[in-house]
Structure formats: structure tokens, C-alpha cells
Structure 1
Amino acid sequence: MADTFRALEVSESDGKYSLAVVDKTLDQLPAGEVLIRVHYSSLNYKDALSASGNRGVTRTFPHTPGIDAAGIVVESAAHEWKPGDQVLVTGFDLGMNTRGGFAQYVRVPASWVVMLPAGLSLRESMIFGTAGFTAGLSVDAILRHGVTPGQGRIAVSGATGGVGSMSVAILAKLRYQVSAITGKDGDLLTRLGASETITRTEMEDTSGKALLKPRFAAAVDTVGGNVLATILKSLQYGGIATACGMVGGGTLPVTVFPFILKGVHLAGIDSVEAPMPKRLSVWEALAGPWKPEMLGTMAEEITLAELPAAIEKILHGKMTGRVIIRLPD
């Protein structure tokens, strides 16, 4: 094991932030019971916010982003993990205020670590990453609500993004009819199994009506704001919408009528602090019956050196699908 390793680091100078691939030492990593040699990470919007100096995500710089990591345990002070274990880490504080997965090594608390499920490679686990895990939590909520494929279409907003594209692929694998809502090219969504694409403008109701014609049995919303409000007003009686994003705004311009007249449900999805039993059950499902056949081709693979350009792309809304990072050997 080398004393130094490569990492993408965000530095601050006079209120300006810059990115560079630098050499770090193991003693610069935070305290934690488990040292992991990272083989793959993935790029999420939260990583881009951290990399651009967003203090709501990361308070202290210099910093290494990366809220996802998959690799092999090299050292462990915890009895449940041993050198050679293939593991993954998503959420908690990784990549936020704890140095994250855009590096060859991370050191984390043992309670953050998940054993790589049988049925997934390290690479495949990061094609899922936090985006896929969040999609999995959303699908789990819909299934637990009792929505079956025969009840109607499932809407997915922000469908070309990480969570959205994963949700489309998982739901299609489970034989649901998916209505993919997007402001971008829908060809990707058709390949992932969407039954139809709907423009985002069509799902931005401005009529002022409290209720709209029922269109969907359930929905996975990654946008928030008026898109989520329109979805809620468009659910069938007893339908459910999951909410995990707010790129469209943090307020919800909707009355109580969908809830008290149509019995609809709104389920908040949190992938950061999800309890370990839930994590394990969702990861097992992602590795098994929910795993899309095309998973291996659902991401662009880049290097640490290519990350700054990819971060700029996702910040400007130009990213489609998933991007994973292969760490150098």
C-alpha cells in the first residue's frame, strides 16, 4: 500500500474555488475504522455543488468531493470488516464534510459501509451509486404502497438525470408503463424502457385548478416545485408520489385537495441517513430482481483528470444519464 495517493481536491483562494488532481497522504484522511482502496466513484449533482464551493454542502476547504465510493477494504479496526472485503459507501457525510470518493482511498466509520451485494461488480454498484439507491428507495415506496403494473402509468420527472434515468430503467424492468417527463431528448428514455415521454412544460400546470384529470397511478419526482404540484393534482385516487429533489424549487404550490379528496400520498425520500436495514434490502433488490439488463452500458466512464469538465457540465444542466469515475491503479 502506497503512502501517497491521487485525489481531486477543491481549494479556495480569495473566495474563488479551483480543482486539481493532487497527491495526498493516508494520514491526511479523517479518523474512521475502515480504510478502503477506491476503485470506482460516481458523479452526482451534490458533488458538483461541493466542488464549486457551496457551503450548504461543504463547509471547509481544501476538500475532496465524492458522495459515492466502491472498493476493497485494506485496513479495518472493526470486527465486521476485514481486508479484502468488497464494499461500497453512499450517503452519510462522505464527500460532504468528510473527504470523499474522488480519491484512491477513503477512511470512514464502520457503520457507513455496505458489503457489495452478490450480483453486482464494483463498477456496476457505482453505475447505481447514490442516484440508483435513491431511485431504489423511490421504487420501494411505490411497491410498499401496493401499486401494481396494471393500475396505470408511473410518471418520472427529471427523467434524463441520474435518479430519473435509473427510476425509468428499474420500473421498466418491473413491467410498469413509465411516462418519462423531460426537457431534453427522449431517445435515451425510450432505450431505457419508457412507454412515452412528456415535455416538462406539459407538466407545469398554471391553470390554478386544485385538481386535474387523473393520469398516473404513481410518480417518482426528482424536480419539486410546480412539476411536483402538477403531478400530485394528476394522480389517480389513492396514488403516491415520491419526492427527492428540488431543482424546480423548494416550495410546493398545491392545495390540500389532492390529499383529502383523492387520498393521494406524498413520500419523502432521503438517501443520506437511510437506516442500514433499509439500505441493505434496497441494495439486494438492485443487485437482483430490479437490476436492468443494460446496467453495464448506462454510464460514461471517465478519469480523475476528466472530472473537472464533467462537473462543469452537470452544473450547467448538460449532463444526461450517469457518469462514473475509475480511480487509477
Structure 2
Amino acid sequence: MAFDALVVRKDDEGKTHAEVEQVELDQLPEGEVVVAVEHSTVNYKDGLCIGPGGGLVRDYPHVPGIDLAGTVESSEDDRYKPGDKVVLTGWRVGENRWGGYAQKARVKADHLVPLPDGLTTRQAMAVGTAGFTAMLAVMALEDHGLVPGGKPVLVTGAAGGVGSVATAILAALGHEVAGVTGRPETADYLKGLGATQIVAREEINETTKRPLEAEAWAACVDAVGGPMLARVLGQIAYGGSVAAVGLAGGADLPAKVIPFLLRGVNLLGIDSVMQPYDNRLRAWQRIAADLPMEKLDAMVQEATLADLPKLGADILKGQVQGRVVVTL
């Protein structure tokens, strides 16, 4: 029986077009598990895959959606049985494999994680790759010594998907959180998530010739990269860490090594795509335990498959606040 999917096609001129179409089960890629998808979400990579591709999509037609959550419909793997609730993020699903923007998905069993107790599939997709990445960043900072009670923790790109969840988690864990944003109108939103300080982007986005500044932050979750990350490294307190999760401000890092040598600052790279199973499970269990669900609800907007072409374009322009839940 056919089902709905957002299908992206490329024309002879190389332009992409995304529309909701009917798809048959035998069109789905190979895999051991068929999932009846209940919810998905919208990430920056999804915007690329819905639109120009960003070098992520190999073949067209393509079904994007790097995240999905739903119920197992059939399984050839003993780890999952019909009726099980599951989550999938990463593994380049939605990029070089068809993804979650369809009412059904056929996936590899190794790519799935059981839905943790206490989370619904909708909540899991309100978290999605962005929130999963945020928790990986918090866990990495904790593994390198971050504890509540010290200087504030800085979150750059705080009103975005990763930043919103990181702000809520850190605040719930007892940290003071300073949120960096280029959109002054998001200040009340960030304070509602638990931020105690709002930092205007222009205050921290300029490069400086000084390799060290006053020790302002215990740690940082950085979704921006570029000159802002370079500046932040010189403001981290002795022995503190920066978890780098994104490059919205550019891939270059015009930084000096002095913060690493004189203050023992750590720069921690966070990858959510190829995370091993055990750490995935640990992160999702921490999300279920430590992310305040009332704060999660406050950062969510609802969407359908038909809304995705516009949302994909909006997220590439930095115009999506918080998280989007797509109901399939």
C-alpha cells in the first residue's frame, strides 16, 4: 500500500524540487527493520537535503529526514520486534539513504536505539539530532570536569535547535547559562529555557589580537565556530572546555594556541552521526532523565510534510527558533 513521503527531485538544469508524493514499500532502501514513522524533525542538514543538497545527497529522487521515531512494523533482527518504539538519528540516513520524511522507513537494525522509558516518539523528535548533540556536548563537558556552582556556561547560537536544548539541560542541572544570540527578540524565550544572561552576538563575534581575555566562562557549547569560537577560547576559565558542535559562523578557526598552553583549555569535537551504540543509549537515557519536558514543549513548533520545503529554506537562513516536530 502506498504512503506519503516528501520526495526531492533534481531537474535537467540541476535545480531541486521537493513535493509530497505517494511511495511504495518496495521503493525503500534495504534494511532489516521497517518502521511506521510517527514523527520526524527539521535540522540544518535537512534544509540542505530538501534544497540544494549541500553535497550530502548522492542520488535523486531522494527522501530526506535525518531523524525519525516510530513503531517497528516488521523486523528481521532479533533485537527488535513489531510494536517496539524506536529512535534513529545519524548514520547518514536522510543524506545518502532515504530518511524519515515518509510514513514508513526501512532501516538497518544497527542504526536504531530503543525509545527510552519516559519519552514519547513526539518528545524524542522534539529532541532530535539537535538535542541529542546538545546532550553529547554536555556529557563531554562533564567528562572533562564541568560541575555546577562555578562560572556561567556559555551557549552560542542559543536560540537554535542545539542551543535551545543545551540551555535547558544545563539550567536544569544547576548551571548558570549565558546564551549568545543575534536575535534580541529571542531573549525572553531563552530566559524561559533557563538562561540567566543574554549575550548579544556582536559582543563576542569579533576577533581580537589578545590571545587571552578575562576568564568569563566555565565552559561553552559552541554551535557557531569561526571567529566566535576563537574569541571564546580566550575567555574560558582555567581548565575549562569548549564543546564544538557546529559551524554556522564558518569552518575557519582564526585562533592562537595560547589558551591551550597557558590555561589548559580543552577543545572537544562533538560528532552525533557515527556515535557508537553504548554512548547513544547513554545520551538518550540522560535526555529522558535530565531534560525538563515542560521546557521542551516550550521550544517546539508543529509541522507536516507539506510544510517542509519552506521550513528547509528557513532553517538555512537561521530563521527557525527552537525545535520543529513533523507529524507523519
Which runs of 5 or more structure 2 residues have no equivalent in the other structure? none
Structure 2 counterpart of 1:307, one-letter code: L
Give the structure 2 partner of residue 160 of structure 1: 159
Give the structure 2 partner of residue 295 of structure 1: 296
Structure 2 counterpart of 1:188, one-letter code: Y
Give the structure 2 partner of residue 9 of structure 1: 7
Partner Cα distance (1:58, 1:133) in 2: 22
Q: How does 1:143-182 map to 2 (within 5 A)?
A: 143-182=142-181
Contact 2:149 2:174 in 1 (8 A): no
Structure 1 counterpart of 2:282, one-letter code: S
Counterpart of 2:18 in 1: which secondary structure?
strand
Residue range with higher mean Cα deviation, 289-298 or 107-116: 289-298
1:114 aligns with 2:126: no
Give the structure 2 partner of residue 35 of structure 1: 34
Contact 1:169 1:292 in 2 (8 A): no
Give the structure 1 partner of residue 197 of structure 2: 196
1:251 aligns with 2:252: yes
Partner Cα distance (2:254, 2:108) in 1: 40
The C-alpha deviation readout for 1:30-69, integer Å capped at 9, x for no partner, is: 0000000000000001000011132421111110110000
Q: How does 1:104-143 map to 2 (within 5 A)?
A: 104-143=103-142
The C-alpha deviation readout for 1:153-172, integer Å capped at 9, x for no partner, is: 00000001000011001101
Give the structure 1 partner of residue 46 of structure 2: 47
Partner Cα distance (2:5, 2:159) in 1: 28
1:232 aligns with 2:233: yes
The C-alpha deviation readout for 1:131-183, integer Å capped at 9, x for no partner, is: 00000000001111121111210000000100001100110111100000010
% identical equivalent positions: 46
Give the structure 2 partner of residue 304 of structure 1: 305
Quote how far apart the aligned CAs of 1:248 are. Answer: 0.7
The TM-score with structure 1 as length reference comes to 0.97
Quote how far apart the aligned CAs of 1:305 are. Answer: 1.1
Structure 2 counterpart of 1:170, one-letter code: I
Partner Cα distance (1:104, 1:173) in 2: 34
Residue range with higher mean Cα deviation, 96-105 or 307-316: 307-316
Structure 1 counterpart of 2:140, one-letter code: A
4+ aligned runs moved over 2 Å, structure 1: 289-294
Structure 2 counterpart of 1:29, one-letter code: L
Counterpart of 1:278 in 2: which secondary structure?
helix
Contact 2:207 2:230 in 1 (8 A): no
Structure 1 counterpart of 2:216, one-letter code: R
Structure 1 counterpart of 2:234, one-letter code: K
The TM-score with structure 2 as length reference comes to 0.97
Partner Cα distance (1:162, 1:294) in 2: 13
Give the structure 2 partner of residue 324 of structure 1: 325
Quote how far apart the aligned CAs of 1:292 are. Answer: 4.2
Structure 2 counterpart of 1:30, one-letter code: P
Structure 1 counterpart of 2:151, one-letter code: G
1:71 aligns with 2:73: no
Quote how far apart the aligned CAs of 1:206 are. Answer: 3.0
1:60 aligns with 2:53: no
- Give the aligned CA root-mean-square deviation in angstroms: 1.0
Quote how far apart the aligned CAs of 1:108 are. Answer: 0.7
Quote how far apart the aligned CAs of 1:312 are. Answer: 1.8
Partner Cα distance (1:135, 1:123) in 2: 18
Counterpart of 1:254 in 2: which secondary structure?
coil
**Relative to 1, partners in 2 of residues 1:206 and 1:165: Cα closer, same or farther, differing over 3 Å?**
same
Partner Cα distance (2:290, 2:135) in 1: 11
Partner Cα distance (1:59, 1:208) in 2: 42
Contact 2:51 2:313 in 1 (8 A): no
**Relative to 1, partners in 2 of residues 1:292 and 1:139: Cα closer, same or farther, differing over 3 Å?**
farther
Which runs of 5 or more structure 1 residues have no equivalent in the other structure? none
